[in-house]
Amino acid sequence: MASLLVVDDELSMREFLKILLEKEGYEVTTAPDGHAALEVLEEQPIDLVVSDIRMPGMSGLELLEHIKQKNGDTGVIMITAFASPDDAVSAMKNGAFDYITKPFNVDEIKSVISSGLKKKGNQEAQETSKTFQGIIGQSQEMVKIFDLITKIAPTPANVLIYGESGTGKELVAQAIHNHSRVAENPFVPITCSAIPESLLESELFGHVKGSFTGAVADKPGLFQLANQGTAFLDEIGELTPIIQTKLLRVLQEREFMPVGSTKTRQVNVRIIAATNRILEEEIISGNFREDLYYRLAVVPIRVPPLRERIGDVPLLVDHFLKKYSKLLGKEVQTISSYGLEVLMKYDFPGNVRELENIIERGVALESSNIILPENLILSTHRQSKKLPQTQEKQALFVAAQDEEELFERGMEDILYQLEKEIILHALEKADNSKMRAADLLKISFRSLRYKTKKYEID
């Protein structure tokens, strides 16, 4: 139920609007003047203020100014018996949603209030869609990930996040944990490739005193620290076969054995893993266990590279500008239109991490309040592959060259060949990763696996 605040020095008008709007299903509070209205706004959340302009003491325009300073998200509709164009212009300039002159039509004020609340709702929805647990994006690809996180986070299912380096896989893992039922418990990340192979087992499972030279005391490992919470294993594809076997036991039996110990320990932990490798290829080459893969990838999430969600670049640029202007003590507020155009045409081989680096460097080098193109230093080893806009697009697939071929071969044969070509194309785009190809084709991994067998595609 939307909450409204009616401000008018006339008791009859306050009572009339209160009765009218409560019949429409709104929760209505009234105030006789601007000072009383500000007190209400301090004490309770208000979605929309309906205020008279000409009031003794604090005028409606002064009230509007106070509201926009302290409660910027609250919509304001101004009403007056004096049809002054100057008042109308001042109200709209200061941020009023609309302006109505008395005497007004009942349907008119109901319509204006409904529109004001709808606009506020749309703005809130847009702001919400721009960021999700620190992940910035409003592209279709990111909104799907936000929806998926919301669905799977409350469950204990293990998650495999895959995508190129710099796409924000750890942010996704953290968001899943924050939305889970164990959000108050530990989130313990570990980067598998950052730890020497000789120490990795001890880091994951812990060790007991005297188990090896230098083990002067018992030390808990990742899984013990993350008990009742979430363990995040980044770069999971780097694990050795021995560690993979021990990790599989944790997943299957919910127990592990510290290095040097003869006793197993029980653990209840959700595992979120991430990789920039194509694990299917690692399985084929014998570098990764297939049974472990299926235990980890109960819910697979693909984080797209930045070049596939280039529409999010302006949002990310704005975020990083604010971040590094504050951090570096600069007053850089925006980026030039040509500078943004340069970024929009760039491929970002390093993804969001590279964009952040570009903006940080641009803010550091810039002496004005706007980043100019000359301060945007881009990687030269990979340039944009976008075609000129004037070039005509060619058909990606051709089912039949003409009507004669269509009727000669028949629909079944043509659809068979067409679907096979589509799958082959998707596999090529996904570097032969069936999981990524299934994601591109918007079908399940199981469905794609069935189809590759049907069409005898290796």
Which string of DSSP letters, residue by residue, matches 337-396? HHHHHHHHT---TTHHHHHHHHHHHHHHH--SSEE-GGG----SSS---PPPTTSPPPPS
| Residue 199 and residue 258 share a domain | yes
Whether 97 and 235 share a structural domain? no
Q: Which of the 8 DSSP states describes residue 283?
A: H
Q: Which residue has the tokens 């606009």?
A: 119
The rounded distance, in Å, linking the Cα atoms of 138 and 246 is 40
| CATH code, 343 | 1.10.8.60
Do 17 and 109 belong to one domain? yes
* DSSP per-residue letters across 279-317: HHHHHHTTSS-HHHHHHHTTEEEEPPPGGGGGGGHHHHH
pLDDT digits (tens, 9 = 90+) for 389-416: 434 455 677 777 777 777 888 888 888 8
The verdict on residue 429 lying in a domain is yes
- Indicate whether 419 belongs to any domain: yes
User: Is 158 a member of any domain?
Assistant: yes
Looking at the domain assignment, is residue 360 inside a domain?
yes
Final residue before a domain boundary, out of 254, 283, 302: 302
Q: What is the CATH number of the domain that holds 269?
A: 3.40.50.300
Q: Which helix (H) or strand (E) holds 440?
A: helix 434-441
Q: Please give the Cα distance from 418 to 8 (Å, whole number).
A: 69
The answer to whether position 326 is within a domain reads yes
Quote the CA–CA distance of 150 and 180 in Å, as a whole number. 9
Q: What is the pTM of this model?
A: 0.59
**Other CB atoms within 10 A of residue 42 CB:** 9
Indicate whether 150 and 117 sit together in one domain: no
Mean pLDDT of the residues in the chain: 85
Same domain? For 60 and 113 the reply is: yes
DSSP string, 181-194: TTTTS-EEEEEGGG
Each residue of 154-189: pLDDT tens digit? 999 999 999 999 999 999 999 999 999 999 999 999
Structural domain range at position 231: 139-302
Please check the confidence at residue 388 and state whether its pLDDT lies above 60.
no
Residues 155 and 290 in one domain: yes
Number of domains into which the chain is organized: 4
Do you find a cis peptide bond into 103, omega within 30 degrees of 0?
yes
Lowest mean pLDDT among 11-15, 225-229, 291-295, 450-454: 450-454
Q: Are residues 212 and 178 in the same domain?
A: yes
Residues 312 and 361 in one domain: yes
End of a domain among 302, 324, 348?
302
